[in-house]
Each structure stands twice: as C-alpha cells, then as structure tokens.
Amino acid sequence: MEQTSNETVLDAKGISQLVDDLAKKIIKAHHRLANVALVGIRTGGAFLASRLQQALEKQSGISPDTGIIDITLYRDDWTRLHNRPIVGRTAIDFPVDDRTLILVDDVLFTGRTTRAAMDALIDLGRPRRIELLVLIDRGGRELPIQPDYVGAKLEAEQNQVIDVLLEEQGAAQDVVLRRG
C-alpha cells in the first residue's frame, strides 16, 4: 500500500499575505474599483472572495459587491461525480451586465472549474469583462485558461493534490497542503 505525504506549503500568515497582495494588484488594475465585483466559486473561492472584499475595503476604503456562484450543474463531469448532485445556492444580488467581474477560486488546475463558472456567469447576464483570480496556480491546464491575478504558483505532480484549507470551511487553521 502506497503512503501519501502531506507537505505544508503555506500557513495562515502566508495565506493572509497573499490575500493582501492580491487586493493590491486589483487596486492597481482598477484604480477606483468602479464597476468591479467579486464572484467567488463555491466553496473555497467564496470564502476567499469575502476575505478579498475585506482587504480591498481596508486598503482602498471601497467594498466592492461580492457574490457566490455554484457551478455544480455547469461542470462537464457532474454525472460522473454524483448521480444526484448537491447543488448549492448562487448568491449574486447585483446586476452583472456591463460590469467587470473578478472570478475568485482557491486553486487553478485543469481550467474546467473556471470554464463552468464563466458559463454560469454568462447565464446571469453580459459582463463587460471577466477576470480570474486564484490563490494558487498549480499548472497542468487542460483548457486554455490563464489567471489575471495569482497569489502563488506551486509545482505539483499530476498525481498530487493542492488543498487550500480555511477556517471558514471547518479547518483548525488556514493552510495550503500538497498531498500525494
């Protein structure tokens, strides 16, 4: 039997620093944050979007609209994952038309989650622009999707998993692990 190893790549302080750095990058790209909204992909991306909203408010005094999108039924593999998928609630209580939406996720790997999220967003309206922000980019794309904002790039073998564990999700502490 093969043992799996867990390597801590980032601790809570490192994650917090990445969120602050990402907020600075957003402010630099969108000076007054006019017409910008954050949309977190349920679940990890939703918690990060909330943290980013707080960091943006602290750094700029502006708190952009923030929502959550569930992509369960937009995934191209949902029938392989579950015969009865558990669909979460999409909570976007602002218009998306003609806005710059920053899609937030914890880890970017194949690009399939991002593609599903863009499909879901476009069903809600016609954004002016969709940008992608990820805490961790681990490479290994299957689709031609690249982030606009990256907290950190981490190398990982194909059989390894990068997990972002956050207190909001029930983790004892914030941590990024490389497993496998």
Q: What is the pLDDT of residues 10-19, one digit of tens each?
A: 999 999 999 9
- Residue 3: per-residue pLDDT: 55
Is the CA virtual torsion 122, 56, 12, 136 positive or negative? positive
The percentage of residues in the chain with a pLDDT greater than 90, rounded to a whole number, is 81
Tens of pLDDT, residue by residue over 13-55, are 999 999 999 999 999 999 889 999 999 999 889 999 999 999 9
Query: According to the model, what pLDDT value does residue 119 have?
Result: 94
Closest Cα partner for 73 from 56, 85, 61?
A: 85
Amino acid at 17: Q
pTM of the model: 0.92
Q: What is the mean pLDDT of the chain?
A: 91
pLDDT grade, residue 79 (50/70/90)? very low
Band of pLDDT at residue 1, cut at 50, 70 and 90: very low
Closest by CA to 94, choosing from 45, 35, 53, is 35
DSSP string, 65-125: EEEEE--GGG-TTHHHH-SS--PPPPB--S--TT-EEEEEEEEESSSHHHHHHHHHHHHH-
Contact 50, 67 (CB under 8 A): no
| Residue 118 pLDDT > 90 | yes
Provide the token pair at 125: 């309206």
Asked whether residue 96 carries a pLDDT value surpassing 70, the answer given is: yes
